[in-house]
Chain A
């Protein structure tokens, strides 16, 4: 039996290697002593670039901007996404399909369309580029992520829980706080982490809404287009990978655990 599927097994592991070797390469190059080329194998290994990257003012500024944007966009997305999910939950009303289509449109259309659309609105309204123009761009697709997660969770939550709560005399806020919120909490945390990671990593839309401001991905992109400070770029790349992987692994563990307990 096992021998029969040898080809299938080999191709499976080959694909997994294909997916992960590039990430490992990024990890390796953060330690190379070489500062101008990508020689493999690296001529030597060093930790000095980590200190130099940390002391780089541009990198720190970009990191701080990215973290603030991601946090703000995530909060907006969770509030609006939950409200939209609650509105379409177990209800029939005119335009319901249109609402659920419109919510996911920002992730169905290529990012560059969203980017140019926002850029057009900024130009048309003569709006100055700011922290908030970046946040608005990120929140449009982050809302879709939050909505998808919360709506999927609500579909598996029985409406009778809310009726029981109301019958027992709880008001709307109490029902939300003590019945609905505990039910959707894993979806909020997982959706929030995904939205945060996506926002932290986003470049396609950000380019069009940032003006001269540099988020961390914009800093990386500009240092790839005009190669300079390669060792710092390598360290930042490793740092960004670590920072995006950790929340994702936590989020998948979280959703899996709760799915196991709640059936």
Chain B
């Protein structure tokens, strides 16, 4: 069929011209997004860097814009370094716990659940992932409160002594679960768990059934198959999930504000330097910690193949 091209409008001429100039077409497509990303986001990152070379005037509390290394000198104090270490420990613990909790559900969904059940699982995991983060943190304030459901439940079961033992443990305890490091840890794991389940699920889904059959045919027991076939293929998925759980724990300041014993975390320190203290230069310099820790983490994760599993 021949199209009736009686007139060629301006759009035809423009698109014809663009067709013969792929570079111009590329520039037009990329121009606006790049301008946005490089201009707004890249520019902000540069502003962040330059801000860290400013300092705060102790008397007036205003930002002094002469370049100095004073703020960086204030950054590497013992207390700030211990904040970074404590945050890294928490992020590591949360990541490991999330991997342990996520693996069985992902494994069950892939290996044993039928098509319908698998679709149901998928939605049931997505709902907590996408339903309001802030409200889910809040829900734990309701759950962990002294008069709340968890204490009520523990009381009904007569397990008070267990809870009291956990709360009186040094380092993780506190006056109540909602004011303890233990409670904080539970909430972190809860909030970021779906970010671990989905990549592990995706990695397990890519293990061909024929591998498992081959392994069984060659005489491997189920546990052997798991250890030598399934587990190595699941590691990239766990590594991919851990990027989320680790990075999100590292930068979070909402959970430490609402739940826990108010010991500072990296995110909380940045937040309060910026807000309460009004020391934007130190807050900017403080982002050095999460950026460097994440950089190291991403480098390691890449080596174990996390990016192929994202």
Q: Can you list, as one digit per residue, whether each of B258-274 has a CB less than 8 Å from chain A (1) or not (0)?
A: 10000000010011001
CB of A26 within 8 A of CB of B135, answer yes
Q: How large is the interface on A (under 10, 10 to 19, 20 to 34, 35 or more residues)?
A: 35 or more
Task: Specify which chain A residues have a CB less than 8 angstroms from the CB of B140 in the assembled complex.
Answer: 22
Which one of B11, B34, B38, B290 lies within 8 Å of A112 (CB-CB)? B290
21 A-B pairs in the complex with CB atoms less than 8 angstroms apart: A5-B112, A8-B104, A11-B105, A11-B108, A19-B193, A20-B127, A22-B136, A22-B143, A23-B127, A38-B141, A40-B149, A84-B33, A110-B252, A110-B267, A112-B267, A121-B44, A123-B63, A203-B133, A220-B134, A224-B138, A240-B135
9 A-B pairs closest in CB distance: A110-B251, A172-B15, A22-B139, A121-B47, A84-B33, A117-B44, A120-B51, A87-B29, A248-B130
CB of A169 within 8 A of CB of B47, answer no
Is B253 an interface residue when CB atoms closer than 8 A count as contact? yes
A22-B140, A23-B131, A102-B38 given; 16 more Cβ-contact pairs under 8 Å: A5-B112, A8-B108, A12-B109, A19-B125, A29-B142, A79-B32, A81-B33, A123-B63, A124-B50, A139-B36, A171-B11, A172-B15, A201-B132, A201-B134, A203-B133, A249-B127
Q: Which residue of B is nearest A166, CB measured?
A: B19
Query: A17 vs B11: C-alpha distance in the bound complex, in angstroms?
Result: 57
Which one of A143, A171, A225 lies within 8 Å of B258 (CB-CB)? A225
Task: Specify which chain B residues have a CB less than 8 angstroms from the CB of A8 in the assembled complex.
Answer: 104, 107-108, 112
Q: Which residue of A is nearest B14, CB measured?
A: A172
Overall SS of chain B's interface = helix
Task: Specify which chain B residues have a CB less than 8 angstroms from the CB of A5 in the assembled complex.
Answer: 108, 112
Interface centre among A8, A29, A121, A168 (most CB of B within 10 A): A121
Which one of A23, A114, A194, A252 lies within 8 Å of B136 (CB-CB)? A23
Which one of A99, A121, A204, A252 lies within 8 Å of B122 (CB-CB)? A252
